[in-house]
Structure 1
């Protein structure tokens, strides 16, 4: 079995058996391809069925020179999954990654914005801005309101469909990682922005046939890219001299943190974010130090 055959089989397994998203599968593939490039560069001719832990360890040492511990850990995790798949399919008897330890890394707290910062960056959008007679400013404002108002991942935002909007019930249907769906509440104000965008902006665009149901479109009538949303947010942050590196995910983190600060239940936040494990959601507890201090001052018997 060649590396390319093994990688193709692994990708099919991730897609069909585990139901992972295209982006997650691409990330796994990238890690395996790094190893393939390393072997080719060093003239090491060995199949994935016979490569040993010593060779993998040398590869990890080589990679470590250029990436941080968190990236090293991710690469090791990707390789471990790949070789576990080969063992599962009876191609190998052992996993060469089992003897390799991942570097110790702390849990990174996500960056968040204050409510004031959220307002500043959203209000910085010029809603009268047009391009080729399309009111892209109104579109951008609506996207940011939806991103923050529903706590979406950027991939979930650009994939959102008109048929996913259930405004009478007060929810939107979101397709998350691994094509898993969840219903997320949407506020009346965000609904108003979306309705206005659909009626007054989207209706003026010549829409490509395959994107008839896609909510947010570029001026050519196609689905917006994730990179475009990143660029819009980056330009707005620069425009208001925000001395922070922010991304679409910063809005999602801020959504969760602000809900927690205002007394939302952690389990409810988990469901809205689409976290499979509540331990992922619990990181926001560490961010909310003001609430922790308040809890001590209010409830501790020796306050």
Structure 2
């Protein structure tokens, strides 16, 4: 069974039922990132219930869960509560709220199935049916699909200029690879030197670092290859010479005095983005922006959605379809071309009527 960093979730660890739930998910071979999300969400649930007074987490009814959901909708993210930031988002994102509710629902399913909960009704109801069907039943929280923000061409150019003139070679490389390969944060910070095919300019994204659990191969451009070469021969080489390490091991190494030479963490990349966001005045910039932008550019260049899905490591093409909406000019052009005959007929009809 994979190791669980219990020290990150003290309340989950102390509660034998929540701990058993997390261990059951590990036994089901859920990915480490999924386990971490479940544990953090349960930690949040326990802390919220502690504010409700002397109430039972396991036997909670819909009223208490409604209070929790209301709490989620009116709460600011931790990074805003604990840090001054220019990002205008003052509430938890819909996806974060949905994720925490799903975790709580799974937890109560677990409690019912294993007999920990006397009330055999899950306090968080599920939606069912399909849109357009009479049997449709709405869940506790409606799903809202919000398109991610991506920079304009001018904003992207300004960001690149600032990156090259103000950031270290390592940070330049992190953003360039995140963009070129449409990489998620964990995929990026987990890259190893031996993941690279230097002659072909390919990078292997290992399945254990990918959200989908699938291995895939992505590419990078010539300028990224030059920055990569410079980083390996300068900053990274100097760190290895001073602190030791595997030449073919983790690509991105910490430059801080506290843990110099150690592999960077997700927080390292978050801090880079936080600094960029504030410095260049792009309040909606996130670590995922580069992935969204790359997929949008691929769509703008006429790449099929199926190929974009493979490149980005999407489990379903439905996820990839949002890039149609982020590249509206291409979609609209296709629609105009496809409906040209119908539109011409309608135009002729209107003109003939108007001439009467």
- TM-score grouping bracket, smaller chain normalisation: 0.7 to 0.9
User: How far apart, CA to CA, are the structure 1 residues paired with 2:286 and 2:185?
Assistant: 9
Q: How far does residue 185 in structure 1 lie from its aligned partner after superposition? A: 2.6
Tell me if 1:257 matches 2:284: no
Q: How far does residue 232 in structure 1 lie from its aligned partner after superposition? A: 2.5
TM-score relative to the length of structure 1: 0.82
SS at match of 1:302: helix
Unaligned stretches of 5+ in structure 1? Answer: 130-135
Q: How far does residue 152 in structure 1 lie from its aligned partner after superposition? A: 0.8
User: How far apart, CA to CA, are the structure 1 residues paired with 2:192 and 2:99?
Assistant: 32
Q: Which moved more, 1:247-256 or 1:76-85?
A: 76-85
Residue in structure 1 matched with residue 125 of structure 2 by the alignment? 98
Residue in structure 2 matched with residue 133 of structure 1 by the alignment? none
Instruction: Name the structure, 1 or 2, with higher relative contact order (CA <8 Å, separation 6+).
Output: 1
Residue in structure 2 matched with residue 168 of structure 1 by the alignment? 199
Alignment of 1:112-131 (within 5 A): 112-126=150-164
Aligned pair in 2 of structure 1 residues 6, 173: CA closer, same or farther (>3 Å)?
farther
Residue in structure 1 matched with residue 38 of structure 2 by the alignment? 28
Q: Which residue, 212, 217, 220 being the options, matches 1:186?
A: 220
Q: Which residue, 17, 38, 47 being the options, matches 1:6?
A: 17
Residue in structure 2 matched with residue 216 of structure 1 by the alignment? 252
CA deviation string 1:40-62 (max 9, x = no partner): 334435362x4433443343345
Q: Which moved more, 1:33-42 or 1:138-147?
A: 33-42
User: How far apart, CA to CA, are the structure 1 residues paired with 2:107 and 2:233?
Assistant: 48
> RMSD of aligned C-alpha atoms?
3.0
Aligned pair in 2 of structure 1 residues 208, 277: CA closer, same or farther (>3 Å)?
farther
Task: Note if contact 2:72-2:92 (Cα within 8 Å) is conserved in structure 1.
Answer: no
Q: Answer with 1 or 2: which has the greater Rg.
A: 2
Task: Note if contact 1:7-1:32 (Cα within 8 Å) is conserved in structure 2.
Answer: yes
Unaligned stretches of 5+ in structure 2? Answer: 1-12, 76-90, 128-138, 344-356
SS at match of 2:218: strand
Tell me if 1:266 matches 2:305: yes
Task: Note if contact 2:173-2:228 (Cα within 8 Å) is conserved in structure 1.
Answer: yes
Task: Note if contact 1:122-1:145 (Cα within 8 Å) is conserved in structure 2.
Answer: no
Q: Which residue, 107, 112, 120 being the options, matches 1:82?
A: 107
TM-score relative to the length of structure 2: 0.71
Residue in structure 1 matched with residue 6 of structure 2 by the alignment? none
User: How far apart, CA to CA, are the structure 2 residues paired with 1:227 and 1:98?
Assistant: 35
Aligned pair in 2 of structure 1 residues 259, 88: CA closer, same or farther (>3 Å)?
farther
Q: How far does residue 119 in structure 1 lie from its aligned partner after superposition? A: 3.1
Q: How many residues align?
A: 292
Aligned pair in 2 of structure 1 residues 118, 18: CA closer, same or farther (>3 Å)?
farther
Task: Note if contact 2:212-2:315 (Cα within 8 Å) is conserved in structure 1.
Answer: no
